[in-house]
Chains A and B, each alone.
Chain A
Amino acid sequence: MSLSRSPSPVPGGGWASPGLTNNLSPSGRSSPTKAYAGGSNGTPVMWERQKNMGGPAYQSFSTQNQGFFSRHMRQISSSLPRFRPENTHGAEREKIGESRWSGLNMPRLGRIRSLPGRMSRRTKMLIAFGLLFLLGYIIFYSTPLVYYYRRTAWLGGGQKFVIILAANVGGGVMEWKGAREWAIERDSIRNKKKYVAKWGYDLEIVDMSTKKRYAHEWRESWEKVDFIRSTLRKYPKAEWVWWLDLNTFIMEPSKSLQDHIFDHLEDVTYRNINEYNPLNISHPPADSYLDELSKSPIGDGNPNSIHLMLSQDCSGFNLGSFFMRRGTWTDHLLDVWWDPVAYEQKHMEWEHKEQDALEQLYIAQPWIRKSTAFLPQRMINSFPTGACSEKGTDTRIHYDQKDRDFLVNMAGCEWGRDCWGEMYNFRELSYHLNRSLWERFKEDLLCWVWFKLTGKKVKF
């Protein structure tokens, strides 16, 4: 023993080094006074630790709480099976400490209750961060707040896109609008609203009822053009406008437009109509008086100059689902799309009105080709197997469940097919394909198990 009492907590006052005994004089006297032999010289006693004043300020001796086993030995050893003789029962077991009320087991509850107190601050902070992260995830990924933050320009860019949905086609003026028509409209609108709420876009539902200003003999069916113009004015932040007919259904709402098309425009669009040319338009325009850019089959190849993106079906351009971008080119196109001289000469011939007018403009005026791009039809405009089916099922045109096509356009369902039936079937198919994990677990596992056990089909 080189110190007369246990070390004090002041640094430098403890068992700093084993060399304290070295202070004894060589004569070997072990009386306590000899320990302070160095002090008798007049210099203050300097334990070795005090020489390193710049080092860490905490003790270097080992406390009782270091090491996993020294902390938890008691807990671990008490939970291991204990040896006991065969004939112990009742009170004797109580003595060994095995019953519920024995002292060793009770503190489990107390241990749990005292857990927060025993946690270090670091552990508490980690748990707090974890909870905060979980809360942030819940708030920002699965509640309606998703709409607001996905809209902003720097987070998702959703405000650049506006979906125009043509609703109330005809308005019940020429044909009766019964329960089926109302149901189709409800489903279509609900589908677009959910999509827009999920990704932060804007939705503009326009009324396509038969209006006098679009009566036959006067620009009938050119409402699209006016609606696009007014929508571009109404949403000043919008860059792209997506026109959708009523009989459409977004089958994969988990795909955003940015992911599906706009983040890689140059990969998904094609400008050279010769890739798929149902109208047999001669491309590029071969007139001798045109400049090089107008004669090039792909324009300038720059995705930023694309102002109109559409798809073609088996008989030409299809304007059931197409995109237009804000710009001077678009202003010019929307202006010249309808012309009374053209309308007067051609409207009886043009069965699809503004669609045929666009085809005529595309053929006759090379400046239109410079900013028009085409998308593969199944990317934005898949048809059900009833439409365009003269040559059977075409992999370029018809909806394919395996490929999970983005949008289905039940074009021409008013003529000869069942619009409501198609809409209902596609809606149910979309729900089925996009079930959440929990639903899949219920339906694919639990219901199947129940069916195997009882032979009854049930829906949880």
Chain B
Amino acid sequence: MHFAYPPRKSSNPPPFRPRTSALPTIRSRRLKTIALAFLAFLTLVWLFQRGGSRRHAPPAYHKPSGNPPAVIVTVFNEGKYGKGYLDMVKENRLKYAEKHGYGTFFVKASDYDLRGAPISWASLPAVRHAMAMFPDASYIWYLDQNSFIMNPNLKIEEHVMKPSRLEELMIKDHPVVPPDSIIKTFSHLKGHDVDFVLTQDKDGLSSSSFVVKNGEWAKFFIETWFDPIYRSYNFQKAEQHALEHIVQWHPTILAKLALVPQRILNSYSKEKGGQEYKEGDLVVRLYACGEAGEDTCETESQRFAQWKAAFQNS
């Protein structure tokens, strides 16, 4: 232009250059501040993390996989019974276990040091031993030597231990030790919470046939029952009375206990002691056979010899 003076500009010039883009431009100084603040926040978070990030997980004990599903434990009292009879008992167990894929565990009562206690106590270290030998078995079934498995078609894990079956079979709110114990079985026990199943006979709890679910509770229970202090107390009926004692005095044991009708697991040969055996029951126990004389068990067992035929036909 050819003017003398530069073109007139306003006296109030705009203070800033017009925007070049829609987004705000972050000056590098502000970026530094933002980065510092973020780092400070991270530092604070890290500082406070030292407290609770370590979760103490509960220990994972070995869970039995179910192979074999059950183990039948039998303790032989070789001092008192003839070999033929004991072999017959062994055959009975083996045939039943073979049919259902169970394990068997045979021991002699003399294998264990009972510190002078009555020989019936040997059932407990035998069960504990079976738990050690079969860590993957789901159930351990202890069956008295003088009992026979009569019905090969019944499976332990269905006939007795299935949670729904237990819930229908369980005797609820019943004195744990008949006739008049004030400690009664639980009324609201869930089937899968039951770790110990047994029966009562006319006199009290019958420890001749019981099932425990393999696991940490079972180890605690068997080891508590087998405490030498109970043996030294000299209960009248040895481990049976000890069992009645601990079941009434220790609720952590009562909480896992279920009573089932006697004929499910433990029918007696005579009506005198408890419910009598009927056709189709799983087990018959030759009740008090050894007390009358040494060979009364053998003669008594002839009455129930039909198990051989039953096993052959199935």
- A residues engaging B (CB < 8 A)? 4, 8-11, 13, 32-33, 36, 39-40, 53-54, 57, 122, 125, 150, 152-157, 239, 258, 263, 287-292, 294, 300, 302, 304-305, 327-329, 331-332, 335-336, 339-342, 344-346, 360-361, 364-367
Contacts and interface: CB of A to CB of B under 8 A. Distances in A.
A-B complex: 5 closest residue pairs judged by Cβ atoms: A289-B129, A291-B132, A305-B59, A156-B51, A57-B17
A328 B1 contact: no
Given A153-B52, A287-B125, A339 B1 contact: no
Contacts of A290: 128, 132
B220 A8 contact: no
B233 A345 contact: yes
Given A36-B2, A40-B2, A365-B220, 15 more contacts: A53-B20, A54-B20, A153-B51, A154-B52, A155-B51, A289-B132, A332-B217, A335-B251, A335-B252, A341-B229, A341-B230, A344-B233, A346-B229, A365-B227, A366-B219
A328 B51 contact: no
A290 B51 CA distance: 39
B46 interface: no
Given A156-B52, A289-B129, A304-B57, A331 B252 contact: yes
B53 to A, nearest CB: 8
Interface string B9-35: 100011111001000000001000100
21 contacts: A8-B9, A11-B17, A36-B1, A36-B2, A57-B16, A122-B29, A154-B53, A157-B51, A289-B125, A289-B128, A289-B132, A291-B132, A304-B57, A304-B58, A335-B250, A335-B251, A335-B253, A344-B233, A345-B232, A365-B224, A367-B219
Given A57-B17, A239-B56, A4 B223 contact: no
Q: Which of B15, B126, B219, B229 has the most chain A CB atoms closer than 10 A to its own CB? A: B229
Nearest to B219: A367
B229 A364 contact: yes
The interface residues of chain A, by DSSP majority, are classed as helix
A154 B2 contact: no
Interface residues of B, number: 52
B79 interface: no
A364 B229 CA distance: 9
A155 B52 contact: yes
B20 A154 contact: no
B120 to A, nearest CB: 16
B292 interface: no
A446 B223 CA distance: 66
B6 A364 contact: no
A125 to B, nearest CB: 7
B56 A328 contact: no
B48 A366 contact: no
Contacts of A304: 56-59
A336 B224 contact: yes
Contacts of B129: 288-289
B231 to A, nearest CB: 10
B49 interface: yes
A436 B15 CA distance: 58
Contacts of A360: 229
Contacts of B112: 288-289
A345 B229 CA distance: 8
B216 interface: yes
B163 interface: no
B232 A289 contact: no
Given A345-B232, A365-B227, A125 B33 contact: yes
Given A365-B224, A365-B227, A367-B219, A9 B13 contact: yes
